[in-house]
Amino acid sequence: MTNTKKSIVFCHGIWADGSCFNKVIPTLQAEGYEVTSAQYGLDTNESDVATVKRTLGRISSPAILVGHSYGGSVITAAGTNDRIAGLVYIAALAPDAGETSQSHINQFPTTDIFSHIEVADGRIWILPEGVACFAGDLSEQEQKVVWATHFPPAADLVHQKCGRNGLEVQTELVYRGH
């Protein structure tokens, strides 16, 4: 019997890497899904999208791309690949052609994390006290691990043009608030 389940590729946001999905991947694998998490360098949107497309070449199709935060910008651009069955956005950005991640971020109030960063060596680093803003739902020990392992993006990453090249993106926004 062949597996009819779609493959799943996770795409992380800034200050993260593919391991940020380590709590959900085992559950999906136990349910029979082929799951991977793209490991891109947060240097340029173009190189991050290229990495996701290479990752798609390593899994069965059709695939679902799942993007969190900046990962939404990545899946929006990579989602034009014919191996893609769908896109899932988790608190994610979905810029259109020629837009930037920052142009979407600017539509909302500034989050506290941006009061706890430092730009150095061409990268954006989280200061230790900023992790609570970024990953406040984690235990104190897990937050310390996040700070110790966070992956700083290039300082201009969110200002780079990205998005699908002229393809319309339809999204359904779901908000679960208080």
Tens of pLDDT, residue by residue over 90-138, are: 988 777 777 777 777 777 788 888 899 999 999 999 999 999 998 999 9
More confident residue, 141 or 165: 141
Token code pair at residue 155? 């300082």
The residue ranges of every structural domain in the chain are: 7-162
User: What is this structure's pTM?
Assistant: 0.84
Domain 7-162 has CATH 3.40.47.10: no
Type and span of the H or E element at 151: none
Whether residue 29 contacts residue 2, with contact meaning beta carbons closer than 8 Å, is answered with no
- CA–CA distance, 79 with 169 (Å, rounded to integer): 10
Helix, coil or strand: residue 131? helix
